[in-house]
Structures are given as structure tokens and as C-alpha cells.
Amino acid sequence: MKILLVDPKNYDLKYSINPWMNLNQSINKDLAKRQWNKVRNELETANVKVSVCNSEEHLPDMVFAANAGMVVGEKVILSSFRDEERQSEKKYFMKWFTSNGFEVVNLPKNMVWEGEACSVIVGDWLLASYGIRADKEAYEDIIKHLKIKKVKLVELIDPYFYHLDVCFSMISPEVSLVCPLGFKNSDYDWILGNVKHVIEVSYDDALNFGCNIFSDGKNVFISSRISEKLEEDIIKAGFIVHKLDVSEYIKTGGGVKCLILNLS
């Protein structure tokens, strides 16, 4: 598996665009770098191939690679950020993708959609969140670039779960981690009907970024703040759990997965 990380040297908390970003808190930058290095090392030890994109000085959230876009084969659908504070990340991600041989797809102007963080493949479907950081209409375009043609739209209703990856993830094609409180009842029923094994994640675990995981199908990389119960549930489902301290990233609304973009 190949993934993209963005170096943490310019990571900081300088503005607030989600409820996690409390400006009375500050980032321990050395600790943030150590935590990022640990994430990188653990991934590489598990044979995940890591590429690194350089961050830009004036873009403190650029470290969250999951918001760069969504890679589909040799193409990348670039994100279109809601907030002005993040909008210029796009041109630097575009540069990285172009110089690394990807064909870049841009969404129509004024569409909001923040990449892999907003949409996840579930069987033959794209589970497509909208409401906080993604417009429903963006999927009309996105779908043109995917092999998958079925879109299940789900509205995100909790401001703490402003991206889908904070309350939902797939660990393998058959197993998912889901916080039911992140979804309308009918959407949660859809998930139950379309995923073979749903591991229910409590609201507390989701707020500790317990849904925000990266998995290679065997190893699950997850926030170290999760409960023993969630850890046991993941182990019982057949996976190896790697707990990583991402405290400095949680301060701005990010967990392990937010730092990672799938490249293959």
C-alpha cells in the first residue's frame, strides 16, 4: 500500500474552523513532530510505502493529507476547501500530484468537498457525506471519475464530526467502525444493511478519534485514547491494533487517518 503524508514542520493552531479548534490551547510543536514521526515509522514498519509532501509555512492545517483529495488509479480528484484559511493548500497539493505523475481533476468552482475525509468506498457504493464540509452536488462530478457508480448520500449532523472520517471508516471490505450518533437513523440502517460486520463505536470513543483509523486490512493504526472495549472489539474482529498518541493533532480536530491520504 502507498500513502501520502505531509511534513509537520508548519503545523499549528492559528484559527478556528471546527469546534475542536479552541484557540486557548496551543500546540506543543516538538511533541507534534515526534508524534508524526512515530506514525510514519509504525506505517513503514508495517511495509506501507510512505511519500511525503512538503508543507507550506502559512498553511498550518496542510499536515492533514486526507484533505488533499481522493486518488483513483492514476488520477486525483483535488479537494475544494470550504474555508478560506485552507483554500490555498490546493495549489501546493496540485503541484505535488502533477510532479508525481498524477492526472489532476478539479471540481467545478464553488463546490465544497474535502477529499477522502468526506467519502469512503463501501462495497459497490460511495458513501458520500454532505452537510458541513461537502456539497451534495459535488458528487455529480466526482462520480464521473470513479469506477463505482452508486452514491449513498449521508448528511453529517454533529459539528464535532465535520468530516465523515471522524465517525466512520472501513477496516477491510467487510468490517467498519461506526459511531451511530453521527448519522440519521435511516443512514445508520443503510450502513447496517450494507456492511457485513459493523463495530459500533461509542460517542466517547469517536470523540477520541476511534473511528479515524488507517488500515492495511490487517494492521489498524488508531488513536491511543480509545477505550479497552473498542480495542478488544477490533482485535476480536481479527486485526492487530497499533495505538498512536496524536494528542497534538486532536487539538485541531484530527486523528491518525486525517494525517494520511491513500495513494493506492
Residue 143 CB-half CA count within 13 A = 16
| In contact, 74 and 47? CB cutoff 8 Å | no
| Region 197-216 residues binding ligand ARG, contact defined as CB under 6 A | none
* CA atoms within 13 Å, Cβ hemisphere of 25: 17
Judged by CB under 6 A, does residue 117 bind ligand ARG?
yes
Distance of CA 158 to the CA centre of its chain: 16
Instruction: State the catalytic residue, choosing from 53, 118, 163, 167.
Output: 163
Taking the complex as a whole, the smallest distance from the CB of residue 236 to ligand ARG amounts, in Å, to: 26
80, with CB counted inside 10 A (0-12, 13-18, 19+), is buried
Which CB, 135 or 237, lies closer to ligand ARG? Answer: 135
Element (H, E) at 110: none
Q: Does 134 bind ligand ARG (CB under 6 A)?
A: no
Active site residue 163: yes
Using CB under 6 A as the binding rule, whether residue 223 contacts ligand ARG is answered as: no
Regarding 80 and contact with ligand ARG (CB under 6 A), the answer is no
Q: What does DSSP assign to residue 226? A: S
Residues 6+ apart with CB under 8 A from 60: 10, 11, 12, 13, 14, 15, 252
Among 12, 61, 89, 187, binds ligand ARG (CB under 6 A): 61
Residue 197 beta carbon to ligand ARG: minimum distance, rounded to whole angstroms: 24
The residue (of 157 and 237) whose beta carbon lies closer to ligand ARG is 157
Query: Cβ 123 to ligand ARG, closest distance in Å?
Result: 22
Q: How many helices and strands in the chain, by DSSP H and E?
A: 8, 15
We find the least distance from the C-beta atom of residue 138 to ligand ARG, in angstroms, to be 16
Strand partners, 200: 178
The reply to whether 66 sits near ligand ARG by the rule CB under 6 A is yes
The angle formed by the CA atoms of residues 163, 153 and 68, to the nearest 5 degrees, is 40
Q: How far is the CB of 253 from ligand ARG (least distance, A)?
A: 4
Q: Are 248 and 17 in contact (CB under 8 A)?
A: no
225 near ligand ARG, judged by CB under 6 A: no
Residue 145 catalytic?
A: no
Chain residues 14-53 in contact with ligand ARG, contact rule CB under 6 A: 17-18, 21
Provide the mask over 83-102, with x wherever binding to ligand ARG is found by CB under 6 A and - wherever it is not. Answer: ---x----------------
Q: Can you give the binding site for ligand ARG, defined by CB under 6 A?
A: 17-18, 21, 61, 64, 66-67, 86, 117, 163, 165-166, 252-254, 258
The residues assigned a catalytic role are 163, 258
